[in-house]
Amino acid sequence: MFETVLVANRGEIAVRVIRTLRSLGVRSVAVFSDADADARHVREADTAVRLGPAPAAESYLSAERLLEAAARTGARAVHPGYGFLAENAAFARACEEAGLVFVGPPAEAISLMGDKIRAKETVQAAGVPVVPGGRDPDLAGAARELGAPVLLKPSAGGGGKGMRLVRDLTLLEEEIAAARREARASFGDDTLLVERWVDRPRHIEIQVLADGHGNVVHLGERECSLQRRHQKVIEEAPSVLLDEGTRAAMGEAAVQAARSCGYRGAGTVEFIVPGGDPSSYYFMEMNTRLQVEHPVTELVTGLDLVEWQLRVAAGEKLDFAQEDVRLTGHAIEARICAEDPARGFLPSGGTVLRLREPQGDGVRTDSGLSEGTEVGSLYDPMLSKVIAYGPDRPAALRRLRAALAGTVTLGVQTNAGFLRRLLGHPAVVAGELDTGLVERVVDDLVTTDVPEEVYEAAAAVRLEGLKPQAGGGWTDPFSVPSGWRLGGTPRPVGFPLRVTEPVEYVPRGTHTVTDDQVSVTLDGVRHTFQRAADWVGRDGDSWHVRDHDPVAASLTGSAHSGADSLTAPMPGTVTVVKVAVGDEVAAGQSLLVVEAMKMEHVISAPHAGTVAELDVTPGTTVAMDQVLAVVTPYEEVAE
């Protein structure tokens, strides 16, 4: 085993790898950008090395700086976690050339399976069934031959980046251009392939583990069908869809796929499976790395996959055979992301003011957070993962819903409450899953309405702050929140507050306020919230309740307002500007693109008119709700 390992990643996966290194008695080296100088993974490692400025290209993705950090600290191996470096053949080769062990598969296997076109051809030759499709250079022709709907995918990467589902082939060229742009930005390669879309498919993947001595086993499957925008949000093991015969057949296909590319280490073979016929499964791709969702496999098999990655990289043989693998119980994972469901799941950010993450009693949280963590727009939005284990699926579901209800991340909007509600949806409870289910039910699980008790809790905190302090001496009667007026009838005390829209709220219940909680009773029902500064939260949901000053609000913003103004839907960076001041635009025309946390958001014209203001250029960093441009309607121009 290695004496020292450098972890070439950040956030929750870096913390996760460091945990296993510590259990093995291996010294861990963390790396960090300037933005992460006080991050949790830095504090938990045995030592840490600064890489450089915050942009990933100048820090976490700089092979030169990572290899230098390994040399300076005496590391003999590099664990890339998951993400771009974990599937970067050039980085694996660079580690080898520097005399370091890359904790992952051989560079040749990464290169082969990282090219989705070559990967499909290779596994097909090994007898693994693949999805019908086509490739560049005649991508459009192949798509039209397949017929709608089709799925566009980057050849060089995964994670849902650059994927486009095209149901209307009249939009094909526009979708191809958008997919190429995102693929180029994400992977440096805009090569695409197209596949037949299987309506209401299930996404099932097989975990494989291979050593350097010819042994390959599979560790069962994970159901990953609950997705948004081609990104997994809930994963579980095992799948309720598969019987033992299908599980064995898919497992053997995954083993053959791994053998076909000379694989070594932990990897995942992903299949698309028609829900009505699970025996008709098709190879999609192989992820040549540890997966985000690996904890569910760990919990049902009892194996530490990071430990086995390290052991295999150190030259050890697997000490178990396929017949020794047993799947016991059920595990489900939820990905906690910095995103706001009430704003269309746009990326969010801020400072973690209060944090509570559940552990124990069948619950595990893998996290990179701590109180005080700054969540910005530079890196991936996933903050943590909450995983629950039970003797069966209903028990695991109950535990995970309860764990999400107890998850507190005040200061940053997350999807925890949404995921708790999703796990209670009848289709999810019944195991009737497919990759489009979340999009179909999302409107039933998200609301922009603010419950009255949220305003009551916020008002209670403000009332508490106005109360005279014991031993404070004389109290001005006008400062006491009693509603008292000189020579008049007392009137209720109201507070101008804002979550989404401004309201004048007059508290009407009873309350108890402590440093970290506020409880209010309305109409005989008691509601308890966690609190920090202007934030309150419960059951995984949180609300930022700000004081509203109507005078100050009227003095800010652009000279134009309302429907004419185009504002940033999230903190991020403007990457594309397609218009100039004075240009005439049509309603719905794409004007700008804002990118945050590896996600693009197109800003379109709200109506036909003329671009009257344009306050940004490509590369401009913008805050949420910042005015980007103003489009004046034609009727206003005519006047």
Q: Which fold has domain 132-196?
A: Dna Ligase; domain 1 (3.30.1490)
| Phi, psi (rounded to 5 degrees) for 449 | -70, 135
Residues of the chain with pLDDT under 50: 557-561, 636-639
With H, G, I as helix, E, B as strand and everything else as coil, classify residue 501.
coil
In this predicted model, what pLDDT tens digit does every residue of 370-385 receive, in sequence order?
A: 999 999 888 889 999 9
- Which of 371, 374, 396, 293 minimizes the C-alpha distance to 13? 293
> Tens digit of pLDDT for each residue in 119-153?
999 999 999 999 888 888 889 999 999 999 999 99
Regarding beta strands 27-33 and 4-7, do their DSSP bridges make them parallel or antiparallel, or are they unpaired?
parallel
**What's 395-433 look like in SS3?**
HHHHHHHHHHHCCEEECCCCCHHHHHHHHCCHHHHHCCC
Give the pLDDT confidence of 324-358 residue by residue, as tens digits: 999 999 999 999 999 999 989 988 999 999 999 99
CATH class for the domain made up of 4-103: alpha beta
Contacts of 56 by beta carbon, 8 Å cutoff, 6+ apart: 33, 378, 379
Instruction: Report the pLDDT value the prediction gives residue 488, as an integer from 0 to 100.
Output: 61
Tokens of 293: 């969702």
Could you tell me if 546 and 533 are in contact, meaning their C-beta atoms sit under 8 angstroms apart?
no
Q: Helix 63-73 crosses helix 89-97 at what angle (to 10 degrees)?
A: 30
Report phi then psi at 596, rounded to 5.
Answer: -150, 140
The architecture that CATH gives domain 449-465+494-556 is 2-Layer Sandwich (3.30)
CATH no. of 557-638: 2.40.50.100
Structure confidence at residue 562 (pLDDT): 57
Cβ pair 479, 466 in contact under 8 A: yes
263: left (phi over 0), alpha (psi -120 to 50) or beta: beta
User: Could you tell me where in the chain the CATH 3.30.1490.20 domains are found?
Assistant: 132-196
Continuous H helices in 424-516:
426-430, 437-445, 452-466
Nearest to 14 by CA among 60, 70, 63: 60
| Distance of alpha carbon 387 from alpha carbon 384, whole angstroms | 10
DSSP string, 116-141: HHHHHHHHHHTT--B--EEETTSHHH
DSSP line for 25-59: T-EEEEEEEGGGTT-HHHHHSSEEEEEESSSGGGT
Q: For the domain 202-215+232-445, what is the CATH code?
A: 3.30.470.20
CATH 3.40.50.20 domain extents, the chain: 4-103
Helix, strand, coil abundance in the chain, percent, nearest 5: 30, 30, 40
Distance, in Å, from the CA atom of 152 to the CA atom of 194, rounded to the nearest integer, reads: 5
User: Which pLDDT does position 317 carry in this prediction?
Assistant: 98
CA distance to 55, 220, 331, per residue, from 393 (Å)? 41, 16, 7
Sheet holding 541-544, edge to edge: 510-513, 517-522, 525-532, 535-538, 541-544
CA atoms within 13 A on the CB side of 125: 9
- Classify residue 195 as exposed, middle or buried by CB count within 10 Å of its CB (0-12, 13-18, 19+): buried
Cβ contacts of 191 within 8 Å, gap of 6 or more: 117, 135, 136, 154, 155, 156, 183
Residue type, 399: R
Residue whose token pair is 């760990």: 298
Among residues 208, 214, 220, 210, the alpha carbon closest in space to that of 246 is found at 220
Q: Encode pLDDT of 455-464 as tens digits.
A: 999 999 999 8
Provide the sign of the torsion angle of the four alpha carbons 460, 466, 469, 474, taken in this order: negative
Residue in the block written with tokens 């702050």: 465
Question: What is the three-class DSSP state of 12?
Answer: helix
Cβ count near 248 (within 10 Å): 13
Question: What was the pLDDT predicted at 637?
Answer: 42
The pTM for the full model equals 0.85
In single-letter form, the type of residue at position 488 comes to G
Domain with CATH 3.30.700.40 in the chain: 449-465+494-556
Which region, left, alpha or beta, applies to residue 487 given φ > 0 means left and ψ of -120 to 50 means alpha?
left
Q: What is the end-to-end Cα distance of the chain in Å, rounded?
A: 78
